[in-house]
Structure 1
Amino acid sequence: MKKKLMTTLSVALMAGAFFSGAVSAKGENSKKSLTALGDSITFGYNLERHNHHVSKNAFPFVLGDYANLRVRDLGVGGWTTQDLLNALEKNEKFRQAVAHADYITLDIGSNDLLQAFSDNNVTPDEVQIVLENIRNIILEVRELSDAPVVVYNFYNPFQLNDPRHAIGNVLLSQMVNPQIESLVQALNQEAGNIVLADAFTEFRENQAEYVFPNDIHPTIEGQKVLAEIGFEALSHLNGQ
């Protein structure tokens, strides 16, 4: 089993150091807030018996527990980058949630890539569409808020015994995720307070533990890893 990024004690200590402003005895409404944008990963799909509502085991809520934040999970199953971009441009619920957030996470694009990967290949043009949409999403977020933004890259959703696993590793490590990292770095220079959470590296070859079998979604353990790297990323921003 892969060693976890941090122990419960270290999480608590980091939360006290970096998120002290979020802790208050006045109750839930006095906490700082996290707005989570994304698809079914953010939603916590298949973590519960039914998928009628976002799961409290999804990474935004786990991250919120670490940092004592109120969480608004706006993950929507099946959404692509274009869906989220449209919502941020036109949907007042999404715009207001971003505008009032103290922290924001963004995990979107997996459905775009899975659709493109239906023929076991992803072309540079298909990747560029995803990157351009993510760029526009982040810029739209920055128009609405100056809150710190954590952008997740893509983990490999295929199990090791799946022939698609090796192909996915090559595509993600050589074509997709390096460009996500470059995009985040560039936008951080341009707009500030934007940081990458490296899901690909943390999931490594641990799909058996972190991804449901015959599925692409994270298990509870996988969601914890996403929460931990998101927390670490936000802590890094707060510590700058």
Structure 2
Amino acid sequence: MKKIVKLLVFILVASLLFSTPAVAKNGNAKESLVSLGDSIPYGYNLNQHNKTTSKDAFPYLMGDYGDLQVRNLGIPGWTTPELLTSLKTDQKYRQAVRHADYVTLTIGNNDLLQALQAAQRESGGDQGSFMAILQQKVEESNVFANIGAIIEEARSLTDAPIVIYNVYNPFQLDNPLHAISSQILPSINKNFTDLASLYNVMYGNILLADSYAAFGQNQDTYVIPDDIHPTIEGQIKLAEIGLNVLGLNE
């Protein structure tokens, strides 16, 4: 009997000494933010040569304020098919999202700009046909079906909150395209709202950051002149609305 007791004690001590600890985030470790998207989270034209992401881009500003570790995976020029493919096949993207505590998604801007440019070319300046052609080009781009697929793929990897940014008006008030964008962007952005609402019901924690409302008519402050990318002030505004929807600004 004594031998059995000694053996049990030995097994218990050995199990405590050599057992593998459960993998858990250190209580002092920072939470992580992964930013997916295009040149906007990249911080394009905030650095002189655009060779690396700008530390003034909104994901880093969110990280500074919220004390988050940031992985910025924004790529200038990217459209929805490119991000979707990378999220499905590139382990760098998959692992980053899998380990994220928060995800931001800023994509679709280049798809929509390409549709706008195609509509301008094909309409030949005829305003009567422009809107119909633009709608056709947007539908042909499958931009919102792709964004839906991106959300689904991201959600298959993580249950972290995903913040979707809609589209601000990138044109200055004196640019004729500003009025056109003001006419078409509310209906475009309704698709972002509907996607966020649908997937939030399906999966939970799918949130919308309203860039369009945040920028309003203040392109002179928030958009770089003769450009379509945010100024530092614009990036600060994008960080602010992202923190707001995540409840990290308190």
- Please say whether Structure 1 and Structure 2 have the same fold, judged by a TM-score greater than 0.5: yes
1:216 pairs with 2:228: yes
Q: Deviations over 1:150-209 (max 9, x none)?
A: 000000101100000011011111x21011101100100001101000000010000011
* Secondary structure of the corresponding residue to residue 159 of structure 1: coil
CA distance in 2 between partners of 1:179 and 1:79 (Å): 20
CA distance in 2 between partners of 1:59 and 1:32 (Å): 17
Q: How does 1:74-223 map to 2 (within 5 A)?
A: 74-118=73-117, 119-120=119-120, 121=130, 122-124=134-136, 126-127=138-139, 129-173=142-186, 175-223=187-235
Q: Deviations over 1:96-121 (max 9, x none)?
A: 00000000000001000111101345
Residue 158 of structure 2 aligns with an amino acid whose one-letter code is S
Q: Is the 8 A contact 1:37 1:73 kept in 2?
A: yes
Q: Is the 8 A contact 1:38 1:107 kept in 2?
A: yes
Residue 143 of structure 2 aligns with an amino acid whose one-letter code is V
CA distance in 1 between partners of 2:142 and 2:174 (Å): 30
Q: How does 1:20-99 map to 2 (within 5 A)?
A: 26=28, 30-99=29-98
CA distance in 1 between partners of 2:229 and 2:207 (Å): 23
Computing the radius of gyration from Cα coordinates, the structure with the larger value is 2
Residue 134 of structure 1 aligns with an amino acid whose one-letter code is I
Query: Which range moves more in the overlay, 139-148 or 128-137?
Result: 128-137
* Secondary structure of the corresponding residue to residue 110 of structure 2: helix
Q: Is the 8 A contact 2:115 2:137 kept in 1?
A: no
CA distance in 2 between partners of 1:167 and 1:126 (Å): 15
* Secondary structure of the corresponding residue to residue 123 of structure 1: helix
Give the aligned length: 212
* Secondary structure of the corresponding residue to residue 84 of structure 2: helix
Could you tell me how far 1:126 is from its partner in structure 2?
1.5
TM-score, normalization by structure 2: 0.81
CA distance in 2 between partners of 1:145 and 1:57 (Å): 27
Q: Is the 8 A contact 1:23 1:68 kept in 2?
A: no
* Secondary structure of the corresponding residue to residue 142 of structure 2: helix
CA distance in 1 between partners of 2:207 and 2:72 (Å): 19
Residue 211 of structure 2 aligns with an amino acid whose one-letter code is A
Could you tell me how far 1:48 is from its partner in structure 2?
1.1
Could you tell me how far 1:50 is from its partner in structure 2?
1.5
User: Where has structure 1 moved over 4 Å in runs of 4 or more?
Assistant: none
Could you tell me how far 1:66 is from its partner in structure 2?
1.3
CA distance in 2 between partners of 1:41 and 1:23 (Å): 32
Runs (5+) with no aligned partner, structure 2: 1-24, 121-129
TM-score, normalization by structure 1: 0.84
Corresponding residue for residue 13 of structure 2: none
Q: Deviations over 1:58-78 (max 9, x none)?
A: 000001111110000000000
Paired-residue identity, %: 51
1:228 pairs with 2:227: no
* Secondary structure of the corresponding residue to residue 195 of structure 1: strand
Q: Is the 8 A contact 2:37 2:106 kept in 1?
A: yes
* Secondary structure of the corresponding residue to residue 164 of structure 2: strand
Residue 102 of structure 2 aligns with an amino acid whose one-letter code is Y
Runs (5+) with no aligned partner, structure 1: 1-21
Residue 145 of structure 2 aligns with an amino acid whose one-letter code is E
Could you tell me how far 1:125 is from its partner in structure 2?
5.4
Higher relative contact order (CA 8 A, sep 6+): 1
